[in-house]
Amino acid sequence: MPSTAVRPRRGGGIRRGEARSGWLFIAPSVIITAVFLVIPIALAFWVSLSDWNGFQSPLNPRVNFVGLENYAAITVDEGLDRRNFGISVRNNLYYVLLVVPLQTIISLLLAVQVNRAALRGKGFFRTAFYFPSVTSTVAIVIVFQFLFTASGAVNAVIGAFGIDGPDWFNDSTGLVHGALSAFGVSGPPPALAEPGFLGISAWEWLAGPSVAMTSLIMLAIFTTSGTFMLLFLAALQSIGAEIDEATLMDGAGPVRKFFSVTVPMLRPTLFTVLTLGLIGSWQVFDQIYVLGGASAGGTISTPAFLAYRSSFVDLEWGQGAAIAFILFLFIIVLTVLQRWFLKERGPKKRKSTTSKPAEEAASATAFTVDGGLR
Amino acid sequence: MRTSQWSAAALAAGLVVTLAACSSADEGGDGDVQTGQELTMLIGSSGDAETTAVQAAADAWAAETGNTVEVIAANDLVQQLGQGFSGNNPPDIFYMPWDQFQTYAAQGFIEPYADELSNAGDFLPALAEQFSYDGQFYCAPKDFSTLGLQINLDAWEAAGLTDADIPTDWDQLATVAQTLTTGEQVGLSMGREYARVGVFMNQAGGSLVDGDTIAADSPENAEALEYLQGLIADGSLKFPQELEAGWGGEAFGLGKAAMVIEGPWINGAMANDFPDRRFISVELPAGPAGPSTFAFSNCWGMPVGSETKDATLDLIEFLTSDEQQLAFAEAFGVIPSTESGSAAYAEQFPDNAAFVAGVASATSPVAFQGASAALADFNVQLEQIGSADPSALLGTLQTNLQAAFDEANG
């Protein structure tokens, strides 16, 4: 069959051998992608289905296929593994719920401020706001540790207002629990005390981020807002002056202009920022690792940290890989959901055809630059 | 057709590269040559003093036998060990921490070589037992430490206490801790973890494992927690976190705690960071069921099927000789793991005699495979020790330990 299929081509023609050269040219990137991306992911998936204990290669004959056992251990089987996973998901959920909206709003506001034509010392402010983003998270955690100790600068400042600050990084009190106890509710009503989803009682799911996690949330917002400010700034500068003028002529005030013109025009960037924020905050690891992951009553542990711990410390590599894949699934599902929410609908449909390429380009960058952005 | 052939070829090339990376990379090592071997040693060092001393000892052996030893001080020993084993390139010799030993032995990672050592019978029985799995003596204890009670002499004298007041039982400990508690300092501090709290459980006559059953929720263990709760309620026991210190030794050095429960490593820490601190170390006070302390040790681990086994065995014999262990003791304060070595140590370092004396009542902390996750959870639960019901804390521990135990033995 090949001889008949190939022969006509051999006869000549200007495009002879083009396909071969094409493959030759992309071979390096295909090989690199396969070796560093496709095969490792396939191997990790195999590990999550196996009982590999971290000794020699996961493909050696002593490793057995155990099906979904590793996934079951952290999702349906009763025990410490499921509980640890449940707690880490809860912690991370609160982290995402607070970090993503706050960092988006703050970075947008910062971008609008440094974009103002009237602002003096623009360069200074842009640098100042961007600076935390170029500093290593680890370095910032260490600075934060000094700021947030019981006798640190933060407590000294709020102490001046007569408030007795907590020992931030060691305080495991959930904010919701703390607020409830101010009203005299210090324990769960019986209906909420039963172990529920992932072995965690509803009362514990509702705890809110702990004080320690709240300090990490502030840290995350501090470090990432600068990066996203830059994205918003680029988008803002592509909004032409004629549009400002047109809004002015239509009689819109600054607030109306911001919400009715600027924000809609920033939709593709907003999508990028929200997607990057979502991915980054579900993968939060370095801060937790530096703090040891076990402080504050386990309220700062996250799935990414748990995956590391299960693998390297407890030698439960299958479970660690399973956590990583569940996390991957979370991120995919949430990103798709978010895409659906931000999709333009209804009467604006005609406009969406024009903005679509930009949106797609934005989402494409979201996946390629993810590693570089925090 | 042509294109799919090419893509198949490209994929195959990728696979070959990957599989080559996966297959064992260190099969080129040459069998039983005694000289000219290049060993790597991974250590979890407590600081420069230890790294330098171990490097010096390794160099001395290397020069004598014509091999080379590269000593690597790990940033995170357990993680780097895991990396080495999963990458099929473990170090030839490494520190095996006591709390990971059972897991590593159960998973078949390490070579049970210890019976082949010429000095196999010299080690302290408690340590030999700690590094045995399934009745087999796996690896040579490197050295050991026990817990003692450190007393800040300045605070002691300021409170008008004398040698006669050194506590020997729980009641006296509570009394002096109360006396030493002032506005500036707390009477007693120690790590908020099983490795300290567990000592009190043993002193009360409890334990976590009793033969083949898990006994974490015993009344004796609850009694120990209640005793500690009493100290917390009096304000005479605070944990380092509450004193803004990283660990007990730091709280002690900063003068925030007049007494702490730590091991001989505190000598090095005080000499380095708080050279002015005047203190003594005494044996831990006895509980209702008598004296008890924990013994901690690392052993010299060797990966299973090591290709440099003969040379490594020789190196381990050298490192565990009394002479070399005493040199380590001098350099960074650990106690030799052999009977004769520890006796010589007690004579040579009378200040540390209390740690050696503790051996008589020392037990090893519970560390069977999978226990570390349950104990890590217990350490987290201990955060509530001040207010929680002891039986609730111990009930959770009982459940988790039982599950881990069943899995390890089932």
Q: Considering CB atoms only, which of B2, B78, B107 is closest to A55?
A: B107
Question: Which residue from B243, B240, B276 is spatially nearest to B261, judged by alpha carbons?
Answer: B240
Rounded average pLDDT over A285-304: 86
Q: Considering CB atoms only, which of B3, B104, B404 is closest to A19?
A: B3
Query: Which pairing describes strands B362-363 and B293-301: parallel, antiparallel, or unpaired?
Result: parallel
Give whichever of A92-96, A368-372, B335-339 has the largest mean pLDDT.
A92-96
Question: Which residue from B215, B219, B239 is spatially nearest to B228, judged by alpha carbons?
Answer: B239
Tens digit of each residue's pLDDT (9 = 90 or more) over B171-207: 999 999 999 999 889 999 999 999 999 999 999 998 8
Q: List, in order, residues 6 or more apart from B204 with CB less than 8 Å away.
A: B220, B221, B223, B224, B227, B287, B288, B289
Q: Would the ipTM clear 0.85, i.e. be above it?
A: no
Are A34 and B373 a contacting pair at CB < 8 A?
A: no
CB proximity B396 to A under 8 Å: no
Mean pLDDT of all residues in chain A?
83
Indicate whether A268 pLDDT > 80.
yes
Are A35 and B83 a contacting pair at CB < 8 A?
A: no
Among chain B residues, the shortest Cα distance to A23 is held by B6
Residues of B in contact with A53 (CB under 8 A): 107, 109
Are A55 and B384 a contacting pair at CB < 8 A?
A: no
* CB B254, CB B184: distance < 8 Å: no
Tens digit of each residue's pLDDT (9 = 90 or more) over B348-357: 888 888 888 8
* CB B304, CB B96: distance < 8 Å: no
Tens digit of each residue's pLDDT (9 = 90 or more) over A238-247: 888 888 888 8
Rounded average pLDDT over A184-209: 81
Rounded average pLDDT over B370-392: 86
Are B10 and A31 a contacting pair at CB < 8 A?
A: yes
Tell me the three state secondary structure of residue B258: strand
How many residues can be counted in chain A? Answer: 374
Residues of B in contact with A20 (CB under 8 A): 2, 6
Indicate whether A251 pLDDT > 70.
yes
Rounded average pLDDT over A250-255: 86
Among chain A residues, the shortest Cα distance to B12 is held by A31
Mean pLDDT of all residues in chain B?
85
Rounded average pLDDT over B315-329: 91
B143, exposed or middle or buried, with CB in 10 Å at 0-12, 13-18, 19+? buried
Angle at B198 between CA B196 and CA B204, to 5 degrees: 120
Question: Which pLDDT belongs to residue B88?
Answer: 84
CA distance A41 to chain B (A): 12
CB proximity B377 to A under 8 Å: yes
Cα distances from A329 to residues A111, A323, A324, A325, in angstroms, run 32, 10, 9, 6
- Other residues' Cβ atoms within 10 Å of the Cβ of residue B242: 18
Rounded Cα–Cα distance for residues A320 and B64 (Å): 44
Are B107 and A84 a contacting pair at CB < 8 A?
A: no
Among chain B residues, the shortest Cα distance to A17 is held by B2
Indicate whether B270 pLDDT > 90.
no
Q: Tell me what percent of the residues of chain A surpass a pLDDT of 70.
A: 89
**Residue B145: its H or E element:** strand B140-146
Question: Which pLDDT belongs to residue B20?
Answer: 43
**Residue A29: its H or E element:** helix A18-33
- Paired tokens of B308: 């440099």
Tens digit of each residue's pLDDT (9 = 90 or more) over A100-153: 999 999 999 999 888 887 777 888 888 888 888 888 888 888 888 888 887 788
Dihedral angle, C-alpha B387, B391, B392, B393, nearest 10 °? 70
What's this model's pTM, rounded to 2 decimal places?
0.81
Band the pLDDT of B125: cuts 50, 70, 90: confident
Query: Which pairing describes strands B209-210 and B213-214: parallel, antiparallel, or unpaired?
Result: antiparallel
Question: Which residue from B263, B291, B267, B280 is spatially nearest to B146, judged by alpha carbons?
Answer: B263
Beta-bridge partner residues of B39: B69
* CB A306, CB A329: distance < 8 Å: no
Q: Which residues of A have a CB under 8 Å from any CB of B?
A: 1-2, 5-6, 19-20, 23-24, 27, 30-31, 34-35, 38-39, 53-57, 59, 79-81, 83-84, 149-151, 167, 170, 172, 294-298, 311-315, 317
CB proximity B78 to A under 8 Å: yes
Indicate whether B326 pLDDT > 50.
yes
